[in-house]
A and B are shown apart, each in its own frame.
Chain A
Amino acid sequence: MTWVNAILQGIFLGGLYALFACGLSLIFGVMRIINLAHGDLAVLGAFLVWSVTVTAGADPFVALLPVLPVMLVLGYLLHRTVLARSLRGGPLTPLLTTFGLAIVIQNGLLQAYSPDVRSLGGAAGGLATGSWRLTDQLSVSYLGLLVLVVAVLVLGGLHLLLRRTRFGREMRATAQDPDTAALVGIPAQSVYAKATAIAVATATLAGVFLAVRSTFDASSGPTQLIFAFEAVVIGGLGSIWGTLTGGIVLGVAQTLGATVDPQYSILAGHLVFLAVLASPRGRAVIR
C-alpha cells in the first residue's frame, strides 16, 4: 500500500512539475529560447499573489484573479521590450538576457520583500492541509488533486489553442519558419509576445501552487527550474501532452525512489531523465 501511495503522490507532484514545465516548453518550442528566468517569474507571481492576499485578506486563489492579467501583460511587455531585442543578437544573447533577468528579479524581490520566507499555505487554510483518507496509508490531498486538475486543464487548453484556433495555427507556423509565416502575413514578434505572455501566466499558476505547498523567498526560483527542464526533456518537445507525461514520470520516479531510500528520490528522477535521453526513443529524437 505504501507503493500505491507513493505512485499517487508522485502523480500529484508530477502535476506541479508539468505546470512549471509547460511555459518553459512553450517558449522554447516557439522561440528557441531557454528561459532561465522562468522559475523567478513564477516566484514573482507568487509574491504578487501574496501581496494581494495580505492587503485584501483574500484567499490565494481569489487573489490570483487580478494577478493573472497583470502577469499576462508583464509577459507581453517582457517580450516587446527585452526578448525581442535579444533575439536579434543570435542564440547566446537571449540566454544571457534571461540569465540576467533572473538575477534582476531575484534581487528586486529581495529589495522589495526582504529575505523573510513566506507561504500562501496559511491563507489557503484547509485546502493546503486537508485530504480524503481512503485508507490509513492512502490519502488524496485536496491540494494535490487540485494541482493535477489545473495542470490537465491548462495543458489541455493549450493543446486546443494550438490545434483548433487561428492563433494556434499562427503560432505553429511561426515556430516552423518565422520568415515564411511572415510572407503570408503573420507577424512573428506579435506571436512571440503572446506566447511569452501565456508562458508567464502559467508560471504564475505554478508559482502559486508551489507557494501553497511549501514556502518561498526571493531565491526560490532556480530550485524548481531543473525539475521543469527534466520534465520537458522526459516528455519530449513534440507535444504539449508530453509535458504532462514528463512531469508525472519525473514525479513518480522521485516518490518511488524515496520509497526505496530517501536518498534516491532526486537521483531517481535524474536517472529517468538520463535513461530517456539514452533510450532508442530518445536517440531517435536526437538527430
Chain B
Amino acid sequence: MEIHATRRDLLRATGLGLTGTMLSACGGLGSDNSSDENTGTLKIGFVSPRTGAAAGFGEPDAYVLDLARKALAGGLTAGGTKYSVQILDRDSQSNPQRAAQVANDLINSDAVDLMLTTSTPETVNPVSDASEAAGVPCVSTVVPWEAWYFGRGAKPDEKNAYKFTYHFCFGVEQFHSMYAHEWPQVPTNRKVGVMWPNDSDGNAIRAALGPLLEQEGFTIVDPGAYTNGTNDFSAQIARFKAEGCEIFNSFPIPPDFATFWRQAAQQGFRPKICQVAKTGLFPSQIEALGDLGIGVAGGAYWTPTYPYASSLTKAGGKSLADGYRTATGKQWNQQLGPSLALFDVAAAALTATGNPKDRAAVARTIGTLDVETPVGRLRWGQGPNANVVATPILGGQWIKSTDSRDKVEFVLVENSSDPNVPTAAKLQQYGRR
C-alpha cells in the first residue's frame, strides 16, 4: 500500500482526538444554580455507576430505587414535622471526574440534604470527597473500607477522619477471615499463587492481606503487580506452575480474569482452589467463562439466604431476590442488599434527627446510628473507626444451577464473619463437581 501518510500525520490526528476527548470532558459547566427552597421536601442524592466499566454494579439500581421511592412516597416524619422525600439518582459513568461533577451538581444545584453513593472507589471516593468538602452528609458502601478511609487521605492512627462522610463495607480483615476459614476445607500444599493488580485494591491487598495470610501458614507466590487491561498472562502462569501453587487468588477486572483463566487452561495451570474477588460477583461474569467458571470460588456481601430485612421496605433475603426476578426477569445479584441498605440508613438518619434540614445534625446522627438492613444490623461507633462499620463478606462457590431458569448459582461455604447466615455446602476442589 503506497499511501502518503507519515507517523507525524497519525500523531497529529491522534492529538486532535485527545483534545476532543478533553473538550467533551469539560462539558456540562455552567449548570444553573437554582436551588429548591421548599423546606417541606427532603432531597436524597444517589450516585452509582450505571454505565461504563463498572455498569454491572449499577444493574439492580433501577429496581432498588423503585422500591425505595414507593416506600418513601408517603414521606418521612422527623421532629414532629412531615416531609416529602425526593430521590435524585445520577450516573457516575464509572468515571471519577464525572462522579465528582454529578455530586457537585446535586449539592449546588439541587441542594440535596443527604448523599448516598455505592460501588467502586472510582465512583464513591470522589462523591464522598465532594460531600465532605461541601458539608453534606454522605453514606456509602461497596468499596473495601480501607480503600475508602485511607484512600481519601486519612492517616493510619486517625479514628475520626471525616465529619460528614460515613461508610459500611467489608475490609481486609473480613477477606482474611474468609480465606483462612475457606481454603483449609480442601487439602492443598497451602501455596497461593496471587495476581494482585497495580491498582488501589491490588496494592492495598498486597500490603495488608498478604502478611496476614502468611501468618496463617500460607506461602504467597506473588509474581508482581500487573496493569489492568493486560492481554497475556503467560509469565505468571509459568511462575505458578514452577512453584506448584495449588491455590490461586486474584482481585482482577472481569476481562483480565477471563483472559488469565483461559490461558491457564491452555498452558496447564489447574489449581485446586480458584478464589477471585472483584470479578465473580455476578452470575453473568461466571456464565461468560463457560465450563471453566464452574467451581470458581468468590465472596458475597449479600445473598438471598441473609436472614435480615430492610427496615424501610421490609424486603430482604428471598423476598428481595424474588421481587427482583419478577420485576426484571433476572437472577438475584448481590448488589441488591447494600444498595437497599443505603436507603434504610438514609430513612433512619433523617427521621432520627430533630431537624433533618440541619446537615451537621444529620451527620452526627449517622455517627451513632443503629439500623437493620438487608446486609445485617449496622451500628456506627463500634469500630474500626468513627466513620466506618465493617460488614461481613462470606465465602462461596459457583456451581451449576439446580434451578432450570439459571445457568450458575452461588452457594455459601463459609460464614466466619457472620455466623447467622447459614452455609449450604463445603468448598469443593476445582474441577471435581
Q: Map CB proximity to A onto B35-61 as digits: 1 under 8 Å, 0 otherwise.
A: 000000000000000011101101100
CB-CB < 8 A to B20: which residues of A? 92, 95-96, 99
Contact partners of B291 in chain A: CB under 8 A: 122
Q: What are 16 of the A-B contact pairs (CB < 8 Å)? A: A13-B232, A28-B5, A28-B9, A36-B17, A117-B258, A121-B289, A162-B1, A172-B2, A176-B2, A258-B236, A259-B234, A261-B224, A265-B227, A266-B227, A286-B6, A286-B8
Interface centre among B7, B21, B224, B289 (most CB of A within 10 A): B7
Bound-state CA distance A266–B226 (Å) is: 8
For A227, list chain B residues within 8 Å (CB): 231
Q: Which chain A positions have C-beta within 8 A of B59?
A: 114-116
Measured CA separation A9–B266 after assembly (Å) = 11
What CA separation (Å) do A237 and B11 show in the bound complex? 12
A186 in the interface (beta carbon within 8 A): no
Which of A68-76, A77-85, A197-205, A213-221 participates in binding chain B?
Answer: A213-221
Q: Indicate if A39 sits at the interface (CB-CB under 8 A).
A: no
Whether A263 pairs with B262 at a CB distance below 8 angstroms is no
* A195→B223 CA distance, assembly (Å): 44
Closest to A103 in B: B24
Kindly state whether residue A45 has any CB partner on chain B within 8 Å: no
Known: A286-B7, A286-B8. A218 touches B55 (CB 8 A): yes
Q: Which residue of A lies closest to B16 (CB)?
A: A95
Asked if B432 lies at the interface with its beta carbon under 8 angstroms from chain A, I say: no
Residues of B within 8 A of A239 (CB): 1
Q: In whole angstroms, what is the CA distance A255 to B13 when docked?
A: 29
Would you list the 10 A-B pairs with minimal beta carbon distance, nearest first? A122-B290, A115-B55, A116-B284, A119-B288, A262-B226, A129-B265, A258-B235, A29-B3, A141-B266, A9-B234
B216-235 CB contact bits vs A (8 Å, 1 = yes)?
00000001111101111111
Which residue of A30, A116, A125 has the most chain B CB atoms within 10 A of its CB atom?
A116
Structural contact, A131 and B267, CB atoms closer than 8 A = yes
Q: Is residue A16 contacting chain B, with contact meaning CB distance below 8 A?
A: yes
Q: Which of B232, B288, B289 is A258 in contact with, Cβ under 8 Å?
A: B232
* Complex Cα spacing A232 to B14, Å: 12
List of A residues within 8 angstroms of B293 by Cβ:
122
**A interface footprint on B286-314 (CB within 8 Å = 1, 0 otherwise):** 01111111000000000000000000000
Min CB distance A254 to B, Å, is 6
Please provide the chain B residues from 213 to 255 with a CB less than 8 Å away from any CB of chain A in the complex: 223-227, 229-236, 238, 241-242, 254-255
Once the chains bind, are B258 and A115 in contact (CB under 8 Å)?
A: no
Q: Mark A132-144, 1 if CB is under 8 A from B, else 0.
A: 0100110101011
State which of A119, A137, A259 has its C-beta within 8 Å of the C-beta of B258. Answer: A119
The docked-state distance in angstroms from the alpha carbon of A175 to that of B8 is 17
**Which of A34, A107, A215 is within 8 Å of B288, CB to CB?**
A215
Verify A115–B232 contact, CB threshold 8 A: no
Known: A6-B234, A95-B16, A117-B255. A139 touches B2 (CB 8 A): no
Interface of B: prevailing SS: helix
The CA of A162 and the CA of B256, in the complex, are separated in Å by 37
Q: Shortest distance in angstroms between A191's beta carbon and chain B's nearest beta carbon?
A: 12
* CA–CA, A48 and B10, complex, Å: 30
**Residue pair A34, B17 in contact (C-beta under 8 Å):** yes
Name the residue of chain A whose CB is nearest to the CB of B293: A122
A1-55 residues with Cβ-Cβ distance < 8 A to B are: 2, 5-6, 9-10, 13, 16, 26, 28-30, 32-34, 36
**1/0 contact trace for A94-136 toward B, CB 8 Å?**
0110010000001100100011111101110100111101001
Knowing A2-B235, A263-B198, A263-B226, say if A115 contacts B56 (CB, 8 Å).
yes
B4 interface hit (Cβ, 8 Å): yes
Is B285 interfacial (CB 8 A cutoff)? yes
A238 proximity list for chain B (CB < 8 A)? 1-3
A139 touching B267, Cβ below 8 Å: yes
CB pair B4 A176 closer than 8 Å: yes
Give Cα distance in the complex from A220 to B35, angstroms. Answer: 38
Using A32-B9, A258-B230, A286-B8 as known contacts, say yes or no to A129 and B292 having CB atoms under 8 A apart. yes
B292 lies within 8 A of A255 (CB): no
A117-B235 contact, Cβ under 8 Å, with A30-B3, A263-B224, A263-B227 = no
- Output the least CB separation between A62 and chain B (Å): 17
B101 within 8 A of A: no
Report the minimal beta-carbon distance from A179 to chain B, rounded to whole angstroms: 14
Given A34-B17, A136-B241, check contact A223 B229 (CB 8 Å). yes
Q: How many Å lie between the Cα of A136 and that of B11 in the bound state?
A: 43
Bound-state CA distance A267–B388 (Å) is: 37
Bound Cα distance from A141 to B25, whole angstroms:
42
Q: Is the CB of B289 within 8 A of A119?
A: yes
Q: Does B170 contact A (CB under 8 A)?
A: no
Closest Cβ–Cβ distance, residue B401 to chain A (whole Å): 15
Q: Is the CB of B262 within 8 A of A213?
A: yes
Partner of A129, one of B231, B262, B288: B262
Q: A177's closest neighbor in chain B, by CB?
A: B4
Given contacts A137-B241, A139-B266, A266-B230, contact A29 B258 (CB under 8 A): no
Which residues on the B side are within 8 Å of A262 (C-beta)? Answer: 223-226, 230, 235-236
B97, CB-defined interface residue at 8 Å: no
The answer to whether B224 and A122 touch across the interface, beta carbons within 8 angstroms, is no
The CA of A121 and the CA of B55, in the complex, are separated in Å by 22
Contacts of A139 in B (CB 8 A): 266-268
Known contacts A215-B258, A219-B52, A176 near B3 by CB under 8 Å: yes
Shortest B309–chain A CB gap in Å is 27
* Interface: B428 (CB within 8 A): no
| Interface residue? B282 (CB, 8 A) | yes
